[in-house]
Structure 1
């Protein structure tokens, strides 16, 4: 049911003096300074529970909410402020004479300032608390006060973050808040409640999914079915406005989700401001590097790999990550110029010494050795980013399309065992262990390449990459051309099956020694025959790794 339309003319109201404030906060940061400043400015403060006690402890006068409502807190504090004496004071539009008159008749006094932040729901979930304890941290009165005040921002300033206290203190001393200021505060308040509701909704969805898993029979091979929520709520906080978007005429911003552990949460240690494209490439580079358990480096340009490599066994970690970088760079030094480099280990001085000689836009890693950071920081423009040590991709990934979103479970490799254990030898004799390790590497690395994808590898490093072509034959030609003489004796991975034998024939003509691909084409027999004729081993994985 829609709200009744108000036909009465509203009076102009820009600056609103702060005479009466309602304060109820879980996060007490800065509360003492705010309360003292408001008290000194002659503002009457109404408060609840522990917030009221904290304000009293500072020596500032405070009115308990129960004195305003004439009703005590009940149900263990679940009901405190849900009362007309509170919400009438929050929602009255004082630009209307009729609202003013009703307040006078009902002996309700308006609020000019509301300072509220919500129960620590996300923090309680993160602590591993029991479900009943989590439920108790679902705030009811808080969001109601925040939303009421934000709706009535023409008359009320709503503050949900201690970061805004300084400007409120200034406003209290200098005549009040402006309409533009209150509107900005209202926008932040609605974002605050939206994020809070999204956290609650996501937690409930996880609880339902876990309950369903408990009742379900374990699947023999297929991964557990994911319960996608009926409604998708996305809450993220703007971290930065970027210089421009994908192109200079586009505007852009970076948003962070509260519990994220990816590139959006990375800390920039040095260098120019990150761009939209920097973030896209850095995310793709991390995705590629973290597909491997051993020390690995990925170099990305325009979201595609210029090179990916892992370190040989037996090296100390500092040298291992440096060697992985050298081998990744050797794949395509021309394309790596101005690229983005990601490592899944701390950047060592040895790696930094090689990096310092190559023009690189961004280096992202879980950390930088002090000497490495100091050496790289001599380059004014290179961006150094430290990604969270517990870097992880979300279980569900989203892609915006016109009018909505697509959601899918993230594409992962098994965490345990060798991925080749599930493969089928389609043609030839079983390969030796060294070749199998190269095939496993190529299959993982190929996943980071935009489809259609072909990747050639040797000794744990890519030597040729064919990406983003509209047919698989062109991708094969591109991979072979980029590898040059290195194609001979390499192994090849294809992210999807060969629809005809022609693509495989391009690889075998370049003397590739073994191939891994999903299989499943109606012409698999034709492709098998081409592999058999060439005398190579070919494995079927039974799954593809498209990356669009």
Structure 2
């Protein structure tokens, strides 16, 4: 296509090994890489070649005077900061994977997108090559789209770095807060058909969260499916024993714990056999054949569990519309550091609620003492009412919810 390739050391070596002609950056700039590679592309011949306006006479004169040639395409992938951070690397390794020259080039090229094509994602390579082959140039619309991707990418990159420093310094509520997410998928619509919606994942998440669930069968997840499933998941994580949580319209309608998952499901079902119809069922053990057989007797929107036996999956998947999800570490405690809630024009942020009472912490102030079974039922109910909207009331007996009332405006 008539382009000369300028590349830094490692990439240049790889290109030459594959019989692709390339000029090393240090040869082009006349300045060697230094400080263990910390300085490579930070040079006026590079940044100037990207930034000067091709149609501006004064810029052209300055470029000619300084011996700066135009650089028309920037292809750059940043140091893997996220991967290094998530790998449990040392602080030294993490710091060394903060890219400086890459974001500088990318931002410069994105700013001057009318003259420069900037490519950061390999998924865009084919589109750029096709335009160059068919039109001999990259369209302005494509250049602007690519520039937007760059600024989104570098903003996320900086947000992750800022988050790392906040975490290591123990700053829970920084003066400026930037949260960053990756899109998982677009949704058909939001809570109502006239609302557009999408599902996003935090850039740093632990196991056992809904964003890590794998859909094995059924229709596409809806906004309400995801929202309701997440609410049930928060309740389910309070229990270590085999437990099933049933959810309808964002509220738990039945919870049961037992020695087997099949018994736990039966308790959750019998807690409210009307409301569970068309609802969501969550289990913290592998779904077996008896449990799946019971579940399949009614219509369910979503079933989510750490896994399914072969026979159980065959039973559940007979219904083509039920959404079957697998979340391997479903019982793992949620270690998210904070909970955020949007308000008009702002955000409320608070520490995540990890507190649960145990029997030793409770003080009985009446003459009549609860039996051991009553105390266990109280603690069982407490795990549920914690997630019921205030004012909330939960009645429970024998590790089964009897009644769940939430959002009561009058005490």
Q: Which runs of 4+ in 1 moved over 4 A?
A: none
User: What is residue 207 of structure 1 aligned with on the other side?
Assistant: 168
Mapped to 1, the partners of 2:128 and 2:328 lie a distance apart of 34
TM-score with structure 1 length normalisation?
0.71
Pick aligned residue for 1:65 from 25, 31, 51: 25
The answer to whether residue 177 in structure 2 is matched with residue 232 in structure 1 is yes
Structure 1 pair 456–48 and aligned structure 2 pair: CA distance change class (3 A): same
For the pair shown, which has the larger CA radius of gyration, 1 or 2?
A: 1
User: What is residue 252 of structure 1 aligned with on the other side?
Assistant: 197
For residue 331 of structure 1, report the CA deviation from its aligned partner: 1.0
User: What is residue 282 of structure 1 aligned with on the other side?
Assistant: 229
Pick aligned residue for 2:368 from 419, 429, 432: 429
Q: Secondary structure at the match of 1:384?
A: strand
Structure 1 pair 152–321 and aligned structure 2 pair: CA distance change class (3 A): farther
For residue 202 of structure 1, report the CA deviation from its aligned partner: 1.1
Q: Deviations over 1:491-538 (max 9, x none)?
A: xxxxxxxxxxxxxxxxxxxxxxxxxxxxxxxxxxxxxxxxxxxxxxxx
TM-score with structure 2 length normalisation?
0.93
Pick aligned residue for 2:146 from 178, 181, 185: 185
Mapped to 1, the partners of 2:381 and 2:361 lie a distance apart of 16
Mapped to 2, the partners of 1:350 and 1:112 lie a distance apart of 64
User: What is residue 42 of structure 2 aligned with on the other side?
Assistant: 82
Mapped to 1, the partners of 2:247 and 2:18 lie a distance apart of 55
Q: Deviations over 1:105-148 (max 9, x none)?
A: 32222222212121122222222222122111111111111211
Mapped to 2, the partners of 1:65 and 1:250 lie a distance apart of 49
Pick aligned residue for 1:295 from 236, 242, 251: 242
Mapped to 2, the partners of 1:348 and 1:439 lie a distance apart of 29
For residue 95 of structure 1, report the CA deviation from its aligned partner: 4.1
Q: Deviations over 1:464-486 (max 9, x none)?
A: 111112113xxxxxxxxxxxxxx
Mapped to 2, the partners of 1:173 and 1:370 lie a distance apart of 50
User: What is residue 127 of structure 2 aligned with on the other side?
Assistant: 167
Q: Deviations over 1:290-317 (max 9, x none)?
A: 11111211111121111111123xxxxx
Q: Deviations over 1:242-285 (max 9, x none)?
A: 11111111111111112224212322221111111111101101
Q: 1:227-376, aligned counterparts within 5 Å?
A: 227-261=172-206, 262-312=209-259, 320-376=260-316
CA contact (8 A) 1:291 1:413 kept: no
For residue 388 of structure 1, report the CA deviation from its aligned partner: 5.0
Q: Secondary structure at the match of 2:365?
A: strand
Mapped to 1, the partners of 2:31 and 2:328 lie a distance apart of 48
Mapped to 2, the partners of 1:349 and 1:142 lie a distance apart of 54
Q: 1:117-128, aligned counterparts within 5 Å?
A: 117-128=77-88
CA contact (8 A) 1:171 1:177 kept: yes
User: What is residue 407 of structure 2 aligned with on the other side?
Assistant: 468
User: What is residue 382 of structure 1 aligned with on the other side?
Assistant: 322
The answer to whether residue 355 in structure 2 is matched with residue 413 in structure 1 is yes
Mapped to 1, the partners of 2:310 and 2:16 lie a distance apart of 47
Q: Which stretch of the first structure deviates more once superposed, 123-132 or 268-277?
A: 123-132
Structure 1 pair 98–311 and aligned structure 2 pair: CA distance change class (3 A): farther
Mapped to 2, the partners of 1:129 and 1:47 lie a distance apart of 28
Mapped to 2, the partners of 1:369 and 1:169 lie a distance apart of 47
Q: Secondary structure at the match of 2:274?
A: helix
Q: Which stretch of the first structure deviates more once superposed, 363-372 or 227-236?
A: 363-372
Structure 2's unaligned 5+ residue stretches are none
Q: Deviations over 1:346-374 (max 9, x none)?
A: 22232221221211111122223333223
Q: How many residues align?
A: 406
Structure 1 pair 106–167 and aligned structure 2 pair: CA distance change class (3 A): same
Mapped to 2, the partners of 1:387 and 1:238 lie a distance apart of 19
Q: Secondary structure at the match of 2:76?
A: strand
Mapped to 2, the partners of 1:156 and 1:349 lie a distance apart of 60
Q: Secondary structure at the match of 1:427?
A: coil
Mapped to 2, the partners of 1:102 and 1:368 lie a distance apart of 68
CA contact (8 A) 1:154 1:182 kept: yes
User: What is residue 459 of structure 1 aligned with on the other side?
Assistant: 398
Q: How large is the Cα RMSD of the aligned pairs?
A: 1.8
Mapped to 2, the partners of 1:378 and 1:203 lie a distance apart of 46
CA contact (8 A) 1:270 1:384 kept: yes
